Structure 1
Amino acid sequence: MKVVIQLVHDGWPESRKSCPTQALEYWNHRDELTEIDGIIFKGHKIVIPRDLRHKMMEAVHLGHMGVEKYYSWETIVTDLFTWNNQEYLVVVDYFSRYFEVEKLYKTTNQAVIEKLKKIFSRFGIPQKVVSDNGPQYASQDFTMFAKEYDFNHVISSPKYPQSNGLAEKTVQIAKRILKKCKADGKDPYLALLEYRTTPLHLGYSPSQLLMSRKLRSILPVVSDELKPKVPTRVRELMKAEREKQKEYYDRITKPLPPLSVGDSIRYQEGKTWKQGIVTKEEGDRSYTVKKTEGAVYRRNTRHLMQTNEKFEPDIPDVNIVSPSNHPVAPPILASPSQSSLLIPETQFETKQVNSSPNSAPYTTRFGRTVKPKVIVSM
């Protein structure tokens, strides 16, 4: 950050090519950066160096179960699901539980990105987008989309639904709404509207928590109820609820020991535990593990168990041909008109012929007689 502070004081270079490597990631925001008491600000936001962001998150969320959601549309979860042979995209806000459903006519990377752009244009760009490791979200296109729209993309742990539980729960709610509307012949959009205006257990509806107002539906309502009103004490109620959930959760669980890169482990696959090794720490209790056959996967620490075994990768079998399976071919015999002495197959050049007249003539491997070289003395 010293380089960035120096550039803020002295001025940035005219071209990106002349910008120091350490400050390249701040180039697009250079006009918004200021420095106060050694701290870089982007507007009213503190700029945290990349190396310190993980520690800062731990300090901010110390003592809480999971990540605290301070305001609506700060963190959203997205997932894909299939219903009635149709593909859908669901996006839900962590804070308000407000969700959007979009039908997908294609499941390509760009189709998912276009739907998310459409939703972001209505509600704004979130700080964090959580998804599973599906091909659309793990693609290079989505990485570029996250960079262009300036949000942090977090991938939940595979084989561990609790890490993306809100998405799974929202998918089930969306399926129930669609199924009931199809069975009753009702409008699914009105059903979604009613869900968004129905108060949650905290006493506020998703639309109130997201937009600080109730949405008008086909149900009669007093006009004063539609006026914007900021919900009060929501954060305190949510915090108390999470702490209560954490208390119940801690009664039946115990913290799992952290793992380090290079640790030999056993990972759960079905009903068996197979050998592997930790190759990378992903954060949020997730690790990248390498199997003995060489495949690499991401797993939650709940499905990993540290061992003292020596990691021994599988060595592929080498096809060794047994001599008994390939018998040696019999030697090629010369014709009666040729000599019984043959040149070995490894020799392609003719042998020097003995000048003795009684010696048998040499032949090549193809049976051609080698004539002696005649030297005429002058």
Structure 2
Amino acid sequence: MKSTLSKINAWLHLWLGLISGLIVVIVSITGCILVFEEDIYKIIQPFRLSPPEAKAVMLPPSALIKSAEAAFPGIELRSLTYHGEGESAEVSFHSDSTLWIDPYTAQVRGISDHEDFFHLMESGHTTLWLPVAIGRQFVIYGTLVFGILVITGMVLWWPKKWNRHNIRNAFRVNWKAKLKRVNYDLHNVWGFYPLIPVVFIIFSGLFMGLGWVMKSAYWVASGGKLVPMYYVPSSDTTQVAATPLMQVLDQVWKFSVAELADHNSPALILGIPDEKDESVYVYTNTEGPHYQIHYFDQFTGRQLKGTGMDVDKFNEANGGDRLRRINYSLHVGSLWGIPSKIIYFLASLVAASLPITGFIIWWGKKSKKLKPAIRTSKALA
């Protein structure tokens, strides 16, 4: 019985690996590149940084929006992001261009285009550069298959006996061996070391991609609660002439920084409404997973009540809401800054190598079986 289960496990590992191998390679390599996206941007696009002068204070949204509208007249604004001390504010339009403004002087620092190298990598990571409806499904279910491969791989890796010889073979690459053995060790041994970050990456990816995974994880983490419905409150259109929008945005910004943000954090996203019944939304504490969304009436500035997984303070939210808000950071490796990003980079690199080393192992075994058959057929001829 045990032998039969082992054979089934090995068979699953082989064929699921062959089926999903190319997907895993593409998603993992692009993931490696995207890990340091923000850090690289700050090097190649220095206009994203705005070192403040002594005693400089950040300007309100109306001042930054005025500069943005002067730079891009006639283009409708979408949102304004304050990234934090020493960083430029980001103005997004209903276009592919993003404007970067010094939040202390309102001077335009630079313009970036959404359609760049990292956008190309993101497209490969999420859709394999295929049409979204098709490519996204390939990525999601390829990730699910990779999760099964991790389990079957662990079963294959697990030493039958925990003696010194088996432990050495399970945890060490024999670099002095022949190339075939080195390749086997790279697949078998290196596949074990990044296990924890790889599991986090797979789980968080499936959390974002599969509704049943998200709902199940939320139910467990929240102690048996269902995912709350999202409700975005509307502005009171009977108060259209109450207060100019720019004045409301300034009031909302000041209130958000002073009263709503933890540790008085200036990092927030301010959504600019398109329609008269829309509310102004504000994401506070956006520098990490402690973000929280708030809604305000665009005509009066009155705070409104919405529902969802990110409307409560992080410290007051249930386990499911916290998991939802920490999930993206868990996926991209930004929870602990550069150290965790390095770990995720190496883990993704190893993950990308596993289908390649696995294919080489399979091809070697296949070739070995074919050679006797070729010799026999030649002899019969």
| TM-score grouping bracket, smaller chain normalisation | under 0.3
Which structure is higher in helix share? 2
TM-score normalised by the chain length of structure 2:
0.21
Structure number with the bigger relative contact order (C-alpha 8 A, sep ≥ 6) is: 2
Higher strand proportion (structure 1 or 2): 1
For normalisation by structure 1, the TM-score amounts to 0.21
Larger Cα-atom Rg: 1
